[in-house]
Amino acid sequence: MAVKICGLTRAEQAVAIAQMGVSALGFICVPSSPRYIPPPAIAAITQQLPETVLTVAVVANPTLEALDSLIHRSNIKAVQLHGHESPAFCQQVQQHYPHVQIIKALRVKSKDTLESIPHYIPYVTRLLLDAYHPQQLGGTGTPFDWRLLQHLSIACPWWLAGGITPENCRQAIAQTHPHGIDLSSGVEVSPGIKDLGRVAALLKALGVDANPTPHS
């Protein structure tokens, strides 16, 4: 089970969480977000992380030019398209950056949202299904109706996000059977500041041996 912790802003927390054994770390590159971190600060963090950790830049409705600058300045391995990007745009990104993994996030408002999934599959490394919120792109702390996914077959790897916590992670996995889970607010003290004890509790619930460091 892949585990991605998203919304990191502090280098020492990113390093500590990586050492706990998570699969991926996400950095928010949307300036309006309270978890925003600029590309040079991301680069300063990513160079301290193990090669085994997938580093992800989360963006929303970028241009190819903006992505080019971000990828080169932040030293990340994947981009998470969390806006209204079309399958055609994902194809463009795939063609321009074949060395970069592409994660397309879909904010699930209703069953209709899921009908667009097949159109993205040829152009992405994986999908991320997140909760819909009219004002926020992510990090809402609120799950969507997981029952919508019970009979859904997705022909590529996918991760579940939206309101997952150490307390409900096992229920979320049992109900939806994702390839991975993505948490932000569920393991936070405040936006961008993680609670390492809650990250450890999450990994323990998933059967991962994690030893939090004394970093705050």
Active site residues per annotation: 6, 130
Is the Cα dihedral 94, 163, 4, 45 positive or negative? Answer: positive
Q: Where are the alpha helices (DSSP H) in 126-193?
A: 169-176
Other Cβ atoms less than 10 A from the Cβ of 181: the count is: 24
Q: Which two tokens stand for residue 82?
A: 């969390």
On whether the CB atoms of residues 175 and 146 are closer than 8 A, the answer is yes
**Using CA atoms, how far apart are residues 30 and 35, in angstroms rounded to an integer?**
8
Cβ atoms of 78 and 102 closer than 8 Å: yes
